[in-house]
């Protein structure tokens, strides 16, 4: 029987746990993406576009370090028995923390920041003034390629201290200094970790 893992995170940052759910109907190959594929996908999902590397400080080069922080590095010697393709190997607290750290850094455009262009927060608004729940739905469809769930909306509301019907425009804190929390919450959702 396939195993499903649920990542349980205390948003205060004090604890993280991986919980195995027995009896899941999701196959092991569908659940966690491999680390080598995660970093480039995260950059693209967040609206980033890397340009050709011109130095070792550019995003195209630095993205290899991201892969190393959440698993085996690109072009490193592989394990003698091959790379694991099971959920248990990838569903560890250290891998999740590495992924979450990268999600937060790239969501704010903090790192990598050379040789890459990120979408401006305002570009995520579907209209000039939008209810918060519509913004979350829009981001979910663009990033996760699926409709938002009640759990995702609730997590996003908690992350930015908003209510579903709050009207968001270009001057709203969500589109300014709180956007990094919103984007990181969408990227940290279980739907984003699936293959």
DSSP string covering 135-183 = HHHHHIIIIISS---HHHHHHHHHHHT--TT-EE-TTSGGGTTTHHHHH
Domain count along the chain: 3
Parent domain of 25: 1-31
Q: Residue 49 in 3-state DSSP?
A: strand
d(CA 161, CA 168) in angstroms, rounded, equals: 13
Length of the chain: 195
**pLDDT tens, 102-132?**
888 888 777 777 777 788 999 999 999 999 9
Q: Are residues 173 and 109 in the same domain?
A: no
Q: Are residues 6 and 72 in the same domain?
A: no
Among 118, 138, 172, identify where a domain stops: 118
**pLDDT tens, 134-169?**
999 999 999 999 999 999 999 999 999 999 999 999
Q: Are residues 47 and 103 in the same domain?
A: yes
Q: What is the mean pLDDT of residues 4-13?
A: 42
Q: Are residues 8 and 72 in the same domain?
A: no
Q: Residue 27 in 3-state DSSP?
A: coil
What percent of the chain shows pLDDT beyond 90?
33
Q: Are residues 37 and 114 in the same domain?
A: yes
| pTM exceeds 0.75, yes or no | no
């Amino acid at each position: 029987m396939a195993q499903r893992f649920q990542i349980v995170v205390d948003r205060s940052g004090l604890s993280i746990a991986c919980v195995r759910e027995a009896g899941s109907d999701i196959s092991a190959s569908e659940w966690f993406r491999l680390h080598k594929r995660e970093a480039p996908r995260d950059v693209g999902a967040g609206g980033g576009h890397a340009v050709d590397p011109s130095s070792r400080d550019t995003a195209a080069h630095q993205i290899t370090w991201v892969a190393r922080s959440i698993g085996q590095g690109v072009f490193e010697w592989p394990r003698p028995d091959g790379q694991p393709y099971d959920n248990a190997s990838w569903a560890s607290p250290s891998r999740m923390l590495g992924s979450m750290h990268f999600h937060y850094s790239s969501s704010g455009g903090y790192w990598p920041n050379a040789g890459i262009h990120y979408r401006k927060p305002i570009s995520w608004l579907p209209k000039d003034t939008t209810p918060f729940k519509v913004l979350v739905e829009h981001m979910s469809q663009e990033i996760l390629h699926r409709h938002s769930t009640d759990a995702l909306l609730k997590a996003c509301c908690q992350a930015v201290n908003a209510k579903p019907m709050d009207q968001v425009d270009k001057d709203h804190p969500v589109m300014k200094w709180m956007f990094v929390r919103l984007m990181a919450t969408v990227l940290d959702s279980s739907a984003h970790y699936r293959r």
